[in-house]
Amino acid sequence: MSVLDNGVIWLSGTEGKVGRTTDYGAHWEWITVPGYDTCDWRSLVAFSDKRALLLNAGEPAHLMLTIDGGVSWKEVYTDHTKGVFFDGMAFRNAREGIAIGDPINGRFTVIRTNDSGNTWQQDPVDASPIAKEGEAIFAASGTSVRVMPGGQACFITGGTSSRFISGWKQWTPVEWNFTHGSPGTGAFSVAFADKKHGVAVGGDYTKDTLTTGNCLITQDGGRSWKPVVTPPRGYRSCVQYIGHDTYVATGTSGTDISEDGGLHWYKISKQGYHVAGVTPDGKRIWLAGSKKLASFGAFKL
């Protein structure tokens, strides 16, 4: 999900589907990207009501650009490498963006653009972050890869190991006490309020009511992480910063709010969603799940 000013929201999902509204959801346009109806679009970055980028999770990888509101699409990057699987995409400014995928031969895959997504280049293998055995990134909501305030990128991992890894050209891994050990466990989403304060959520998507090790916070820009006092009420696939120390987190077993920087969470909905988005002014929270239009919601704060 990508939420912009003036009522513009883009959504993407399975079977090549893309949705767009320009009036805060009163009316939606739904399309299937022609020729890509088998793609699962897990990464979406929108720049306006006309310009947006889509990246699928899975093999082969396709990165698509539209400049006319989805009427037409151009493939600006493709990768047929065996095992390629991109998990997230983020931009540090209007021109510089990055996308990161699961490890191939022990190294995470990193591609980047310097021209607003028109062309992409893969980083040299020896410059890409080293992965641990069985470590991967989750593409559940497209928010496992972020650009932090200040311009550095970060991504979070799970599986047999879970870490916070940040950088841009060079990467620094941080060990933390997030739940891990099996393919369905780990950190799924991260969000920052400013250069120092951030929240990461996740858990075990196969046991989505467990709360052990499903949320950590940082107060030093990601150099260290600590557990929260009252965690979200289960596995959460997406966390978003709203403003004034407030975050929202959602997952298949419900939606939670924290109003103290992530230390304490309380459930605001039993309805499960996959992704959340916040308007730039922080006044509306959008939630999307698997129930088609009935699963979209908005809270006015």
> CA-CA distance, 8 to 21, in Å (whole number)?
6
Rg of the chain on CA atoms, in Å: 18
Q: What is the pLDDT of residues 169-196, one digit of tens each?
A: 999 999 999 999 999 999 999 999 999 9
Write the CB contacts of 291 (distance below 8 Å, at least 6 apart in sequence). none
Torsional sign, CA 253, 85, 223, 198: negative
pLDDT higher than threshold 60 for residue 296: no
pLDDT band at residue 300 using 50, 70 and 90 as cut-offs? very low
Q: Of 185, 221, 182, 176, whose CA–CA distance to 203 is shortest?
A: 185
Other CB atoms within 10 A of residue 266 CB:
11
Give pLDDT, residue 290. Answer: 81
pLDDT band at residue 293 using 50, 70 and 90 as cut-offs? very low
pLDDT band at residue 297 using 50, 70 and 90 as cut-offs? very low
The residues pairing with 100 across neighbouring beta strands, listed in sequence order, are 88, 110
Do 210 and 202 touch, CB atoms closer than 8 A? no
By CB neighbour count within 10 A (0-12 exposed, 13-18 middle, 19+ buried), where does 244 fall? exposed
> CA-CA distance, 91 to 130, in Å (whole number)?
22
Other CB atoms within 10 A of residue 32 CB:
12
Do 23 and 39 touch, CB atoms closer than 8 A? no
pLDDT higher than threshold 50 for residue 301: no
What b/e readout covers 137-153, taking b as 16+ CB neighbours within 10 angstroms?
bbbbbbbbbbbbeeebb
Q: What is the pLDDT of residues 202-230, one digit of tens each?
A: 999 999 999 999 999 999 999 999 999 99
What pTM value is reported for the model?
Answer: 0.95
Mean pLDDT of all residues in 28-47: 96
